Amino acid sequence: MNFNTLVTRLLAWAFPCTMYNPWGRILHAIFLTTGSVFSLGLILVTYNLLFHPLRQYPGPLLARVSGLWGFRLNLQGRRAHEIVKAHKKYGPVVRIAPNLLSFSDPKAVREIYMNKTFVKASGFYAALTEFEPHIAGKIEALFSQWKRLARSNKAIDIYPWAHMLGFDVIYHLMFGVDPESAKAGKESEVMPWLRAWRPTFNYKEMIPSLEQYGPCVPGKVGHNFRLVQTWKNYAMEIVRECRKTGTKTPFLSRVLDGVDDSLGRVLTDSELAEECMAGMFGGSGTTANTFVYTVWGVLRNPSIVKRLREELKEAFPDRTVMPDSVTCAQLPFLNAVISETLRRYPTITGILPREAVEDTTVSGAHIPKGTNVGTGNLTIHWNETEFPDPLCYNPDRWLTSNAPRHALVPFSVGPRKCIGMSLAELELRIWLAAFFRRFNATLDETMAEEDMEIYDSFSASPLGGKLLLWLEEAED
């Protein structure tokens, strides 16, 4: 006798009248539906715990049986932190979802991400040097705004401004049009759409059909899907317009005409629009948050401020001249500061899953075909063996000859690593060098550690969503 038959018989026995009136039938249907869902759940849980190929790997019970563990933590912005804790409790290989293993050994990063397939075309960064004057111009425009605000004798929240600059740079580079948000002091209409994207991933991970039906869901969840749909339509419009006018930015010519390596064909308009969305999303908030976290990390330590300013003053005696990327790339302390920010506050914190296309091993663990494996940057970058006292912001880690560079992977590694790494590094170097050369900055006394704690929603941002500073133009 199966579960549903059992429920039907029990109901008929306990409440004979239920079978003969409409309310009884509704009750009956409810019991049957609940029973079916419950039976299915029970089968899944039993399979995941006792029969799944990953059953021997340790992890939190809820994570081993369902995706709910990650889903709940994603909603709280704490998934990456809990994965760090899970590794401390369960060891170097942890089952963080029924079919997903997380690894904490930095050696696993290369074993996973430098391992075959998924070739991603690159090449649009040859044009970076030509684009540098545009980046410099945008930084000048931003600093004019900050100088203006500094005169009003109020603390300035640099967080939204940093995001405007990050967005302007990537949008201009990709589409050849400068949105001038930082110059105007007003965010582009696209930016709220970008912010809506991340939460939709979390829901789609649990219920994949939301990809199609998400916009029909009422309330806040559906609202995010509707914003993303508007953004997709907008990106489709850009693609069509570019096809019509033959616009040829390095990014667009690559994606419009190029054959996608993994698909072996030219992309459809819809796929192209998604590439454009990925570029806008991947290229703006990540760089902006890295800038914000660097300012926070540096300003809390006067000796770091002093050393950085001395190095910059020597390299760029005239503070009114915009630092150039070639000189910046050669400044040891500036680059140590940026590396330390990318380590302590990596702006991509989510596990980047890779599917095993055949049976293999990672860090000595057997990985059956079809399993997803991955590493997360908090786990790798906060590894106590590689980085003693990992939560301490200490740029000196990067100034020794045996600095653990192999364990610093903020852009990931391998064929699918970030395509914007060179742009991000160039932008951050000029922007930070100019900032610390032009301004004497201090943190507003209301800023607390909790405000800057990492809120993890795959990408990381400060929990408080602000960084309040007092700015004064430097005089030397």
Q: Is 70 helix (H, G, I), strand (E, B) or coil?
A: helix
By CB under 6 A, residue 254 contacts ligand HEM: no
**CB of 262 or CB of 330, closer to ligand HEM:** 262
**CB of 113 or CB of 382, closer to ligand HEM:** 113
Residue holding tokens 């209409």?
A: 189
x-marked contacts with ligand HEM along 102-141 as a string, rule CB under 6 A: -----------x------x---------------------
Closest CA to 105 of 457, 400, 381: 381
**Distance between CA 95 and CA 371 in Å, rounded?**
11
Among 74, 181, 349, 412, binds ligand HEM (CB under 6 A): 412
For residue 215, give Cα distances in angstroms to 139, 194, 224, 271, 466: 37, 16, 8, 19, 30
Encoded tokens for 366:
């057997």
**Distance between CA 444 and CA 466 in Å, rounded?**
11
Nearest residue relative to ligand HEM (C-beta): 420
Smallest distance from ligand HEM to CB 13, Å: 56
Among 164, 228, 419, 454, binds ligand HEM (CB under 6 A): 419
Closest CA to 456 of 202, 251, 184, 230: 202
Please state whether beta strands 459-462 and 100-103 pair in parallel, antiparallel, or not at all (unpaired).
Answer: unpaired
Among 279, 297, 376, 395, binds ligand HEM (CB under 6 A): 279
**Distance between CA 266 and CA 264 in Å, rounded?**
7
By CB under 6 A, residue 325 contacts ligand HEM: no
DSSP-derived letter for residue 78 is B
By CB under 6 A, residue 418 contacts ligand HEM: yes
Of 8-16, 233-241, 285-293, 381-389, which part binds ligand HEM (CB under 6 A)? 285-293
By CB under 6 A, residue 285 contacts ligand HEM: no
Encoded tokens for 428:
């951050």
DSSP-derived letter for residue 19 is G
**CB of 54 or CB of 408, closer to ligand HEM:** 408
∠ at Cα 255 (244, 415), nearest 5°? Answer: 175
418 is in an annotated binding site: yes
Closest CA to 199 of 223, 232, 167, 230: 223
Smallest distance from ligand HEM to CB 153, Å: 33
**CB of 172 or CB of 319, closer to ligand HEM:** 172
Among 282, 390, 404, 464, binds ligand HEM (CB under 6 A): 282
Encoded tokens for 186:
């007003």
**Spatial contact of 166 and 188, defined as CB atoms under 8 Å apart:** no
x-marked contacts with ligand HEM along 420-459 as a string, rule CB under 6 A: x--xx-----------------------------------
**CB of 59 or CB of 279, closer to ligand HEM:** 279
Q: Is 368 helix (H, G, I), strand (E, B) or coil?
A: coil
The greatest distance separating any two alpha carbons of the chain, rounded to the nearest whole angstrom, comes to 92
Among 59, 98, 199, 283, binds ligand HEM (CB under 6 A): 283
By CB under 6 A, residue 373 contacts ligand HEM: no
By CB under 6 A, residue 165 contacts ligand HEM: no
Among 142, 352, 434, 469, binds ligand HEM (CB under 6 A): 352
Closest CA to 55 of 427, 397, 371, 448: 371
By CB under 6 A, residue 350 contacts ligand HEM: no
What are residue 271's phi and psi, to 5 degrees?
-65, -40
By CB under 6 A, residue 293 contacts ligand HEM: no
By CB under 6 A, residue 416 contacts ligand HEM: yes
**Spatial contact of 59 and 96, defined as CB atoms under 8 Å apart:** yes
Smallest distance from ligand HEM to CB 411, Å: 5
Distance of CA 382 to the CA centre of its chain: 17
Smallest distance from ligand HEM to CB 279, Å: 5
List binding-site positions: 418
List binding-site positions for heme: 418
Per CB under 6 A, residues contacting ligand HEM are 113, 120, 170, 278-279, 282-283, 286-287, 290, 347-348, 352, 410-412, 416-420, 423-424
